[in-house]
């Protein structure tokens, strides 16, 4: 039995050691071992402090009770029996109980290492709170520390006191006889002193509680309100004083032996807590404040407004009135030509399937469900681009190839990117690729295309081999048939040549990693050699979170081609929920679009985009750049981890060109500005100008093709009058903010991120007003100023506010206008007939032409296997006028009286060619994972194709012509049918119906014939 226990202990110890050893190897390989060792040292010291802080007082309390027990006390028979049982184990109990309690306390305190390090490395904010005049840093760094110390100490003293009571009773120092309680002198001193220490700690706690009211969530605002300032805070001070006096009375009891005075003092403290801490604040709030709440709370609401705008970084938002026009006149877009030319038609949420079918090539590759939007300099002109990494997808392997060997050693990485112009489309509706093929080629130049670190990378891969060894890692497909591994079939192979993971070249490292991943193959496989490395924790966001544990990371890492490499850019945030008077909100709820719940565990009321991080897709190298150097939280963590951050000055000009304003931060700020754009306390209280983000207008239109449902979140809100309302919002229900290159009124044309606002409302009833009330945009372009220099306008927030008397249609109204228009609905129905579905793309809102232009691409997708969405139509609106044409350029001209005054990016619809070259691999072959990939059977590619769009017989142009002819015939048949009905010619109408049906069938055959 002993042998089994020892062996089990050794096995457990080995697994713990393996976990610690592999963690250190991972951090050391990245150069962030100081982060790990600092955490280990701080956590260990905190454990020791927590252990000793609990174990020593409890032990001393028990030991003192035993040491000064009455030796000749007469005990009853029951206590005698207890002593007989306990006495043989007394020493083990006296040591064991404190040790067990100490272990639990140590484990609890070890997790608070970050709070302690922040306290000892704290940085002043340089701003004072409006109530006590203390630096904000006191509330962020010092108050949480001292409150934790007091709470921990109170728990220790309470537990020690209870242990003392048990020991004193067991050994006769306390005896009960009827109504009489007899306590020995030593016991009286011990209990009285323990009680005095505990009450003194409560006095300190009450004193600190008055400062905590400045970050308390109330029904109206976060922060101390009138009742808090005039009743609660003074009450806490009074009770703290009373508690201090009571603590002194217990000391007096210890000296003179009279319990009555301390018991009376304790009773008075309890009465004061009820009267001063409860009844009096209730009277003030109910009888004084409530009847005139707006007046009493005005100054405190103003504190909340000012603090919230500062804490969320929106205090400098430039607000300007925008009296938008609603009439579309000829040439109205002449002054917005650059914006019009950059309107993005390619919806990154819809075209993932299109990218997959045209550019995936093999089923073991994968594009993300939502692609990323970036911008690139193409021939001296900045182009908005939809880009995606071709990542590895082990779940796509066939049953034949899905072996542990292949998953570990062969299919180790993705390859290349695919990128399309955001504002262009081919004549058949495909994207126009500026970078395509495998290996990819095109306008992005030469770069390292292998993606060993991506969003879909395997749990681990083993790579590397000595020079001269045979390559076994599949690099990219170049043969015609899939094989069991990369050793045959003509596929290009490679061997990883960077330093991307810990070495497993020796037996010991192989053993510990076999234990970590519970895989005997790591230990036994002959493919593991002296130069082997193991790559794991490969998701870019995950890597940044591990090396920077103090950051909240943006949910979306986006790829960019920087300095001839694929790098992932990750935004990191420093946050706190202790900023006085700033409105507290759930971070996740603000990002997802739901309102905060009081029970959320991710509450924040201060946020800064303090760090920009990059992860090299080939080497896995993580680089953290100190982006917001004025942030006190970041300064504090720079003191804790002095070697982990690089200055902005070390960022290359090309990297800065791809840095953008983060989406999650913008979502949080738009949520705050929906209410806090109002800077007048009285108007804020009345809520007469509160806004909200509109719901996603295309959700219902595309619901039939939706692949997943959003999770419903129920929100309960309370207005200034105390009236509660409950609404249900889906986490993904609000319209996303969109990146566009555009000119916001009052500024130059910039790469921007924008969102819209409508009036705040509690439901979707007929009385809901979906008019546009505000338009928030932020300058998202950090580049252009050269190496190590942020663009001066980056991060500038501009809020356009509509006159309250205007009725500018909001996104939901415009979407309804599109869907209810007779001509549009008829044409959409035509596109839906047969084996096709229609997907309405992102509804963009642009402040051009003196008003707001709405643009929505319309995609058509066949329901047949291997189909993908094709951009076929464009809907536009200005005021209450709409147009529906084949191209954006045509639609704008139609909308603005025959001449919009500017050209759109799809002015001359492309035939599919681009600057990307051939856009195919050496052979260009495809399989089930890349239908319509554009390769002919002979393996040649369609020169300059969009992916390349040809059929299997190489006659893509013929098929496209047939499809276009069929669509033209359908359009003519529809026109003839409308004219026949207008003339009441039912025969001609029936004939037109038949021609329309024939044209739709012909179009379906032409599209599905590839």
Report yes or no: 608 and 634 within 8 Å, Cβ to Cβ. yes
Residue 158: its H or E element? helix 143-170
CB-CB neighbours of 821 under 10 Å = 17
752-772 mean pLDDT = 80
| Lowest-confidence region among 595-609, 649-663, 819-833 | 595-609
pTM of the model: 0.86
Q: State the Cα–Cα distance between residues 661 and 68, nearest whole angstrom.
A: 68
> Per-residue pLDDT for 949 more than 60?
no
Residue whose pair of structure tokens reads 């002959």 in the numeric block:
526
Question: Angle CA(842)–CA(846)–CA(847) in degrees, nearest 5?
Answer: 160
The whole-chain average pLDDT of the chain stands at 86
- Burial label for 649, CB within 10 Å (0-12, 13-18, 19+), is exposed
The closest alpha carbon to 368, from 345, 351, 385, belongs to 351
Contact between residue 479 and residue 490 where contact means Cβ atoms under 8 Å apart: yes
**Residue 922, exposed/middle/buried by CB under 10 A (0-12, 13-18, 19+)?**
middle
Three-state SS for 565-603 is EEEEEEEEEEEECCCCCCCCEEHHHHHHCCCCCCCCCCE
Higher pLDDT, 1 or 569: 569
Which one is predicted more confidently, 18 or 921? 18
The Cα–Cα gap between 837 and 998 comes to 18
Contact 921, 910 (CB under 8 A): no
pLDDT surpassing 90 at residue 604: yes
Judged against a pLDDT cut of 50, whether residue 650 lies above it is answered with yes
Structure tokens belonging to residue 423: 């504002």
Q: What span, in angstroms and rounded, lies between the C-alpha atoms of 980 and 545?
A: 66
The yes-or-no verdict on residue 77 having pLDDT over 70 is no
Residue 491: the pLDDT is 86
Give 733-750 pLDDT, tens digit per residue.
899 999 999 999 988 999
Three-class SS state of 520 = helix
- Structure confidence at residue 874 (pLDDT): 95
Per-residue pLDDT reduced to its tens digit, 130-166: 999 999 999 999 999 999 999 999 999 999 999 999 8
Contact 497, 448 (CB under 8 A): no
For the stretch 525-529, contacts whose Cβ atoms lie closer than 8 Å and that sit 24 or more positions apart, written own/partner, are: 525/405, 525/408, 525/409, 525/462, 527/405, 527/409, 527/462, 527/472, 528/462, 528/504, 529/464, 529/465, 529/466, 529/469, 529/505
Mean pLDDT, to the nearest integer, of 597-622? 90
Predicted local distance difference test score (pLDDT) of residue 964: 76
Looking up tokens 């109980």 gives: 97
Contact 580, 307 (CB under 8 A): yes
DSSP string, 32-98: -HHHHHHHHHHHHHHHHHHHHHHHHHHHHHHHHHHHT--TT----HHHHHHHHHHGGGHHHHHHHHH
893-920: average pLDDT: 71
| CB count in 10 Å sphere of residue 67 | 10
Q: Answer whether residue 543 shows pLDDT above 60.
A: yes
Q: Count Cα atoms within 13 angstroms, Cβ side, for 781.
A: 20
- Calculate the alpha carbon distances from 872 to 427, 497, 831 in Å: 9, 45, 9
Gap between the Cα atoms of 648 and 651, Å rounded: 5
Q: Which of 283-297, 855-869, 877-891 comes out lowest in average pLDDT?
A: 855-869
Burial of 958 (0-12, 13-18, 19+ CB in 10 A): middle
Q: Looking at the predicted structure, is the pLDDT value of residue 951 above 90?
A: no
- The whole-angstrom separation of Cα 856 and Cα 403 is 45
Contact present, 649 and 643 (Cβ < 8 Å): no
Strand, coil or helix: 178? coil
What is the percent of the chain with per-residue pLDDT over 90, rounded to a whole number?
A: 68
pLDDT digits (tens, 9 = 90+) for 90-138: 788 889 999 999 999 999 999 999 999 999 999 999 999 999 999 999 9
143 touches 209 (CB < 8 A): no
435 by DSSP, 3-state: which?
strand
Q: Who's near 984: CB < 8 A, 6+ residues apart?
A: none
DSSP state of 325: B
């Amino acid at each position: 039995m002993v042998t089994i226990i020892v062996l089990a202990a050794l096995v457990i110890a080995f697994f713990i050691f393996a976990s610690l050893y592999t963690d250190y190897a991972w951090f050391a390989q990245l150069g962030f071992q100081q982060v790990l060792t600092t955490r280990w040292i701080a956590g260990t010291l905190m454990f020791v402090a927590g252990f000793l802080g609990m174990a020593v007082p409890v032990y001393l309390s028990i030991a003192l009770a035993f040491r000064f027990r009455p030796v000749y006390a007469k005990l009853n028979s029951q206590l005698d029996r207890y002593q007989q049982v306990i006495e043989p184990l007394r020493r083990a109990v006296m040591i064991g109980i404190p040790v067990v309690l100490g272990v639990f306390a140590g484990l609890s305190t070890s997790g608070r290492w970050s709070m302690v390090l922040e306290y000892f490395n704290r940085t002043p904010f340089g701003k004072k709170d409006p109530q006590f005049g203390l630096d904000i840093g006191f509330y962020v760094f010092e108050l949480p520390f001292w409150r934790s110390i007091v709470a921990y100490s109170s728990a220790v003293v309470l537990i020690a006191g209870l242990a003392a009571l048990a020991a004193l009773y067991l050994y006769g120092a306390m005896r009960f006889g009827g109504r009489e309680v007899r306590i020995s002198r030593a016991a009286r001193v011990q209990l009285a002193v323990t009680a005095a220490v505990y009450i003194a700690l409560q006095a300190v706690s009450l004193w600190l509680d008055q400062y905590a009211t400045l970050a308390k969530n109330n029904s109206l605002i976060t922060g101390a309100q009138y009742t808090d300032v005039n009743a609660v805070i003074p009450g806490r001070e009074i009770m703290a004083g009373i508690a201090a006096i009571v603590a002194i009375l217990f000391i007096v009891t210890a000296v003179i032996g009279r319990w009555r005075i301390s018991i009376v003092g304790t009773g008075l403290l309890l009465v004061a807590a009820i009267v001063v801490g409860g009844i009096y604040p209730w009277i003030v709030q109910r009888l004084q404040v409530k009847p005139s709440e707006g007046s009493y709370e005005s100054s405190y609401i103003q504190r909340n407004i000012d603090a919230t705008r500062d804490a969320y970084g929106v205090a400098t938002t430039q607000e300007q009135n925008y009296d938008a026009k609603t009439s579309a006149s000829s040439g109205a877009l002449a002054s917005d030509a650059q914006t019009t030319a950059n309107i993005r038609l390619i919806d990154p949420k819809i075209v993932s399937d299109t990218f997959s079918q045209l550019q995936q090539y093999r089923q073991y590759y994968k594009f993300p469900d939502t692609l990323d939007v970036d911008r690139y300099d193409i021939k001296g002109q900045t182009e908005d681009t939809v880009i995606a990494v071709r990542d590895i997808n082990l779940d796509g392997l066939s049953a034949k190839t899905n072996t542990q060997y292949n998953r570990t050693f062969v299919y180790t990485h993705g390859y290349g990117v695919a990128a399309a112009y955001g504002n262009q489309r081919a004549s058949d509706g495909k994207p126009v690729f500026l970078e395509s093929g495998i290996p990819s080629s095109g306008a992005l130049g030469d770069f390292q295309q292998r993606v060993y670190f991506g969003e879909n990378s395997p749990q681990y891969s083993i790579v590397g081999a000595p020079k001269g060894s045979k390559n076994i890692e599949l690099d990219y497909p170049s043969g015609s048939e899939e094989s069991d591994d990369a050793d045959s079939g003509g596929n290009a192979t490679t061997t990883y040549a960077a330093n991307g993971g810990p070495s497993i070249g020796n037996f010991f490292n192989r053993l510990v990693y076999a234990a970590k991943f519970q895989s005997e193959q790591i230990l036994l496989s002959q493919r593991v050699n002296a130069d082997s490395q193991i790559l794991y924790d490969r998701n870019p966001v995950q890597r940044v979170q591990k090396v920077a544990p103090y950051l909240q990371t943006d949910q979306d890492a986006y790829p960019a081609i920087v300095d001839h490499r694929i790098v992932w850019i990750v935004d990191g945030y420093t946050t706190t929920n202790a900023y006085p008077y700033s409105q507290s909100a759930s971070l996740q709820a603000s990002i997802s679009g739901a309102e905060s719940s009081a029970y959320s565990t991710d509450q924040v009321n201060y946020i800064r985009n303090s760090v920009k991080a990059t992860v090299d897709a080939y080497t896995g190298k993580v680089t953290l750049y100190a982006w917001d150097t004025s942030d006190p939280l970041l300064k504090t963590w720079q003191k804790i981890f002095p070697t982990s951050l690089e200055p902005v000055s070390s960022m290359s000009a090309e990297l800065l060109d791809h840095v953008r304003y983060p989406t999650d931060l913008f979502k949080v700020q738009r949520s705050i500005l929906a209410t806090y754009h109002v800077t007048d306390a009285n108007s804020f209280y009345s809520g007469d100008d509160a806004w909200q983000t509109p719901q996603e207008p295309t959700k219902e239109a595309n619901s039939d093709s939706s692949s997943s449902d959003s999770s419903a979140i129920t929100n309960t809100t309370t207005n200034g009058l105390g009236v509660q309302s409950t609404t249900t919002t889906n986490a993904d229900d609000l319209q996303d903010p969109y990146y566009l290159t555009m000119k916001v009124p009052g500024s130059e044309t910039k790469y921007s991120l924008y969102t819209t606002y409508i009036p705040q409302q509690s439901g979707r009833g007929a009385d809901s007003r979906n008019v546009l009330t505000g338009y928030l945009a932020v300058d998202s372009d950090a580049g252009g100023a050269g190496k190590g220099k942020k663009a001066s306008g980056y991060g500038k927030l501009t809020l356009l506010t509509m006159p309250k008397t205007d009725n500018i249609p909001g996104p939901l109204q415009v979407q309804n206008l599109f869907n209810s228009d007779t001509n549009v609905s008829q044409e959409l129905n035509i596109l839906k007939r047969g084996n096709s579905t229609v997907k309405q793309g992102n509804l963009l809102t642009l402040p051009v032409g003196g008003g707001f232009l709405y643009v929505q691409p319309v995609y058509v997708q066949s329901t047949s296997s291997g189909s993908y969405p094709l951009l076929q139509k464009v809907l536009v609106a200005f005021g209450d006028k709409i147009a529906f044409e084949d191209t954006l350029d045509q639609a704008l001209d139609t909308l603005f009286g025959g001449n919009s005054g500017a050209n759109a990016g799809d002015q001359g619809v492309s035939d599919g060619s681009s600057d990307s070259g051939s856009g195919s691999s050496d052979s260009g072959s495809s399989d089930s994972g890349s239908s319509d990939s554009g390769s002919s059977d002979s393996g040649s590619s369609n020169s300059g194709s969009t992916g390349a769009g040809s059929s299997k017989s190489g006659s893509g142009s013929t098929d496209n012509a047939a499809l276009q002819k069929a669509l033209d015939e359908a359009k003519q048949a529809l026109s003839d049918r409308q004219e026949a009905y207008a003339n009441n010619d039912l025969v001609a109408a029936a004939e037109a119906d038949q021609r329309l049906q024939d044209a739709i069938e012909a179009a379906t055959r032409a599209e599905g014939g590839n």
